[in-house]
C-alpha cells in the first residue's frame, strides 16, 4: 500500500472541544468484565464520568474516582498512604475484581503523583490475592478521548504472556462490541487463521505475544498499543479499518495475505456476508449520495469513516478533522479518500466553526457540546460519540453504520414543517 503523494494537512492549535482519555473507561469497563478503573483525580474528573456515563452511573459500575482534596496537595507521602487505604476498601467491597487500573488525570499528573510506582507497590501486595494492579494516564493534557483506550491497552501489553514457538497467530487489537468480536472470530476461524483479541473479556485471558504475532488494528487510535506490541516482537499489518463492506473486506484480506489463505477460500468465506453488507448499504445510498459532510475532531475514527462514506455511500467529505493523524495507521484509508478533501489535525474550535458555517455541509459530525447549537443555526448534525459506543465494525453492521448518518437527514425531512424557515 502506498499512501500516494502526501496530502496537505491543516494543523491547528487553539481551543479544543474534545473529551479527555478518562472517557474511555465508560466502554472499557464493560469490555473487561472483572476490571475496575480507579481514577485518581478531582471532582471535575468524577463529574465528567458521571456526565459521560449517563444512567450507567447508577448500575454499581466498575469505575470510581479517588478525589484529591486539599490535604492531599500538602504533601506527597500522605497521598500514597491514602491511596492504599482507598484501594484496600475498594477491593474488600468488590471481591470479584481481578484487575485494578489506577488511572491518572490532569491533577495527578500535574502534582507528579507517581501512579506507576503506586501500582507496582499495590500489585506486589495484591498479587497473592489474585488481583493485578496497573496504571495508565487518561488525563486531558496527554490524551484525547479514545486515546484513553490506547493508553489502557498499552499498559496491558507488558502483562501479556510470551508466545512460544507455535508459529504465527493473529492478534486483533482494539475493543469491539461482543457481537462484532464474535462475528470476526467466526470469519477468522473459517479462513483458518488462529486469532486472539486485545483486550480480552476477562483479565486472566490475556493473549500471548511474540515474534510470531501479526497484529491487525480494529481501531484507528491505537498508536501506543501498536508500538508496545512491536516492542514485544509483534508485526503490525497496515490495513484500512473494517467499516462497511469494502473496508471490512480489505481489512480481512490483509490478514488473509499474511496467513497465506488462498483466494478461493477467501472468496468462499467473505462472499455471502459481503453481499449482505452491500444490500444493506444500498438501502441508504439514495439518501446519502452526493451529500456533503464535515467531521470535527473527536475520536480518530474520522478518516476511516470519511473513507467509508465517500467510497461506499457516495457522500462528499468537505473537511475531515481528527485530533491526531497517524500517517502510518491512517495511511491506507487516507489513500482511498477522494481528491480535494480538506484534512485538519488538531483544532481551533472557533475557526473551525467559521469554516463549517462557510461550507454549510449537509451533515456535520461533532460532539454534543456543539450539536444543538449548530442545529439551532440550521445545520444538520450527527453526534460523534455514538460512533464509539455503537457496534459499527464489520460486514453485518455496515447498514447500521450508514443508518447512523442517514437518520439525522431523514429526521430533518420528516420535521421540515417545524423548521423556523418553514414558518416564514
Partner 1 sequence: MRVATAMRGVHYVLHAPQGDTYADLLFTMIERRDHRPPVTWTTFQARDLGADTAELFKAALRDAHARFRPEAMLVGASCTAELIQDDPGGLAATMGLPVPVIPLELPSYSRKENWGAAETFLALVRALVDRSRRPSPREGRRPRVNLLGPTALGFRHRDDVTEVTRLLDTLGVDVHVVAPLGATVADIAALGEADLDICLYPEIADSACRFLEKSFGRPTIRTVPIGHLATCDFVREVAGHLGLDPAPALAAAHARLPWWSRSVDSTYLTGKRVFVFGDATHAIAIARVARDELGFEVVGLGCYNREFARELRAAAAEHGIEPLVTDDYLEVEARIAALQPELVLGTQMERMIAKRVRLPCAVISAPVHVQDFPARYSPVMGFEGANVLFDTLVHPLVMGLEEHLLTMFREDFEFSDEAGPSHLAASHAAQHAAAQPQIRPEPVAAQAAADGLVAWTPDAERELRKIPFFVRGKARRNTEAYAAARGISAITVETLYDAKSHFSR
- Using the minimum distance from each CB to partner 1, give the nearer residue, 28 or 52: 52
* Cα dist from 317 to 47, 250, 274, 289, whole Å: 35, 21, 24, 11
Among 38, 52, 97, 245, binds partner 1 (CB under 8 A): 52
- Using the minimum distance from each CB to partner 1, give the nearer residue, 60 or 81: 60
Among 111, 268, 272, 416, binds partner 1 (CB under 8 A): 111
Does 168 bind partner 1 (CB under 8 A)? Our answer is no
| Total number of residues that touch partner 1 (CB under 8 A) | 44
Does 373 bind partner 1 (CB under 8 A)? Our answer is yes
Q: Which residues contact 169 (CB under 8 A, 6 or more apart)?
A: 163, 194, 195, 196, 207, 208, 212, 213, 214
Site for partner 1 in 88-107 (CB under 8 A): 106-107
Q: How far is the CB of 295 from partner 1 (least distance, A)?
A: 17
Find where cell 452491500 sits: 278
**DSSP letter, residue 141:** T
- Using the minimum distance from each CB to partner 1, give the nearer residue, 56 or 258: 56
Helix axes of 147-156 and 24-31: crossing angle, nearest 10 degrees: 40
If we measure between CA atoms, which residue out of 135, 225, 133, 134 comes closest to residue 171? 225
CA separation for the pair 237, 217 (Å, rounded): 8
Q: How far is the CB of 95 from partner 1 (least distance, A)?
A: 17
- Using the minimum distance from each CB to partner 1, give the nearer residue, 18 or 305: 18
Q: How far is the CB of 144 from partner 1 (least distance, A)?
A: 7
3-state class (DSSP) for residue 96: coil
CA angle 113, 114, 116 (to 5 degrees): 145
Among 7, 12, 16, 201, binds partner 1 (CB under 8 A): 16
Does 371 bind partner 1 (CB under 8 A)? Our answer is yes
CA angle 293, 297, 301 (to 5 degrees): 80
If we measure between CA atoms, which residue out of 328, 354, 355, 357 comes closest to residue 343? 355
Peptide bond preceding 223 in cis form (omega within 30 of 0): no
Does 401 bind partner 1 (CB under 8 A)? Our answer is no
Among 358, 376, 418, 423, binds partner 1 (CB under 8 A): 376
Q: Which stretch binds partner 1 (CB under 8 A): 28-36, 203-211, 228-236, 370-378?
A: 370-378
Q: How far is the CB of 24 from partner 1 (least distance, A)?
A: 12
CA separation for the pair 318, 343 (Å, rounded): 9
CA angle 220, 225, 229 (to 5 degrees): 125
Contact 304, 174 (CB under 8 A): no
Among 1, 69, 263, 268, binds partner 1 (CB under 8 A): 69
Does 357 bind partner 1 (CB under 8 A)? Our answer is no
Does 369 bind partner 1 (CB under 8 A)? Our answer is yes
Does 140 bind partner 1 (CB under 8 A)? Our answer is yes
Q: Answer left, alpha or beta for residue 248, where phi above 0 means left and psi between -120 and 50 means alpha.
A: alpha
Does 68 bind partner 1 (CB under 8 A)? Our answer is yes
Q: What are the counts of helices (DSSP H) followed by strands (DSSP E) for the chain?
A: 18, 14
Does 294 bind partner 1 (CB under 8 A)? Our answer is no
Q: How far is the CB of 27 from partner 1 (least distance, A)?
A: 16
Among 10, 116, 254, 368, binds partner 1 (CB under 8 A): 368
From residue 143 to residue 162, what is the string marking binding to partner 1 with x (rule CB under 8 A)?
Answer: -x------------------
Q: How far is the CB of 16 from partner 1 (least distance, A)?
A: 5
Does 267 bind partner 1 (CB under 8 A)? Our answer is no
Q: How far is the CB of 187 from partner 1 (least distance, A)?
A: 36
- Using the minimum distance from each CB to partner 1, give the nearer residue, 93 or 414: 93
CA angle 401, 296, 7 (to 5 degrees): 95
Among 4, 11, 51, 389, binds partner 1 (CB under 8 A): 51
Q: How far is the CB of 141 from partner 1 (least distance, A)?
A: 4
CA separation for the pair 333, 387 (Å, rounded): 17
CA separation for the pair 372, 239 (Å, rounded): 35
- Using the minimum distance from each CB to partner 1, give the nearer residue, 298 or 403: 298
Q: Which residues of 335-360 are buried (b: 16+ CB within 10 A; e: fewer)?
A: ebbeeebbbbbbbbbeebbebbeeee
Summarize as ranges the residues that interact with partner 1 (CB under 8 A).
Answer: 14-23, 42-44, 47-48, 51-52, 55, 58, 68-70, 72-73, 106-107, 109-111, 139-142, 144, 350, 367-373, 375-376
Amino acid at each position: 500500500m502506498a499512501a500516494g503523494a502526501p496530502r496537505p494537512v491543516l494543523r491547528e492549535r487553539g481551543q479544543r472541544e474534545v473529551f479527555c482519555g478518562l472517557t474511555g473507561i465508560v466502554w472499557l469497563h464493560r469490555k473487561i468484565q472483572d476490571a475496575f478503573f480507579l481514577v485518581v483525580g478531582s471532582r471535575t474528573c468524577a463529574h465528567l464520568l458521571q456526565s459521560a456515563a449517563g444512567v450507567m452511573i447508577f448500575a454499581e459500575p466498575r469505575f470510581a474516582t479517588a478525589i484529591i482534596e486539599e490535604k492531599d496537595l500538602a504533601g506527597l507521602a500522605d497521598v500514597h498512604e491514602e491511596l492504599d487505604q482507598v484501594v484496600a476498601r475498594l477491593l474488600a467491597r468488590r471481591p470479584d475484581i481481578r484487575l485494578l487500573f489506577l488511572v491518572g488525570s490532569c491533577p495527578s499528573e500535574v502534582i507528579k503523583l507517581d501512579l506507576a510506582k503506586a501500582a507496582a507497590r499495590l500489585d506486589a501486595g495484591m498479587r497473592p490475592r489474585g488481583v493485578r494492579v496497573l496504571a495508565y494516564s487518561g488525563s486531558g493534557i496527554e490524551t484525547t478521548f479514545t486515546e484513553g483506550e490506547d493508553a489502557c491497552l498499552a499498559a496491558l501489553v507488558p502483562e501479556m504472556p510470551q508466545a512460544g514457538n507455535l508459529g504465527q497467530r493473529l492478534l486483533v487489537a482494539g475493543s469491539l462490541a461482543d457481537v462484532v468480536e464474535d462475528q470476526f472470530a467466526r470469519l477468522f476461524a473459517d479462513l483458518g487463521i488462529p486469532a486472539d483479541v486485545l483486550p480480552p473479556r476477562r483479565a486472566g485471558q490475556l493473549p500471548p505475544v511474540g515474534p510470531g504475532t501479526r497484529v491487525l488494528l480494529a481501531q484507528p487510535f491505537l498508536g501506543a498499543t501498536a508500538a508496545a506490541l512491536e516492542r514485544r516482537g509483534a508485526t503490525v499489518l497496515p490495513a484500512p479499518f473494517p467499516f462497511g463492506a469494502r473496508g471490512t473486506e480489505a481489512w480481512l484480506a490483509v490478514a488473509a495475505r499474511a496467513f497465506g489463505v488462498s483466494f478461493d477460500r477467501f472468496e468462499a468465506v467473505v462472499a455471502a456476508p459481503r453481499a449482505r453488507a452491500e444490500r444493506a448499504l444500498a438501502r441508504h445510498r439514495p439518501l446519502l449520495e452526493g451529500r456533503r459532510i464535515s467531521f470535527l475532531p473527536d475520536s480518530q475514527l474520522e478518516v476511516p469513516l470519511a473513507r467509508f462514506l465517500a467510497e461506499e455511500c457516495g457522500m462528499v467529505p468537505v473537511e475531515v478533522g481528527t485530533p491526531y493523524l497517524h500517517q502510518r495507521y491512517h495511511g491506507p484509508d487516507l489513500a482511498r479518500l477522494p481528491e480535494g478533501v480538506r484534512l485538519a489535525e488538531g483544532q481551533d474550535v472557533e475557526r473551525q466553526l467559521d469554516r463549517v458555517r462557510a461550507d454549510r455541509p449537509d451533515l456535520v459530525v461533532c460532539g454534543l457540546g456543539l450539536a444543538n447549537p449548530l442545529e439551532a443555526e440550521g445545520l444538520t448534525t450527527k453526534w460523534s460519540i455514538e460512533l464509539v459506543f455503537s457496534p459499527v465494525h464489520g460486514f453485518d453492521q455496515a447498514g447500521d453504520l450508514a443508518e447512523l448518518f442517514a437518520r439525522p437527514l431523514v429526521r430533518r425531512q420528516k420535521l421540515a414543517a417545524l423548521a423556523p424557515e418553514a414558518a416564514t
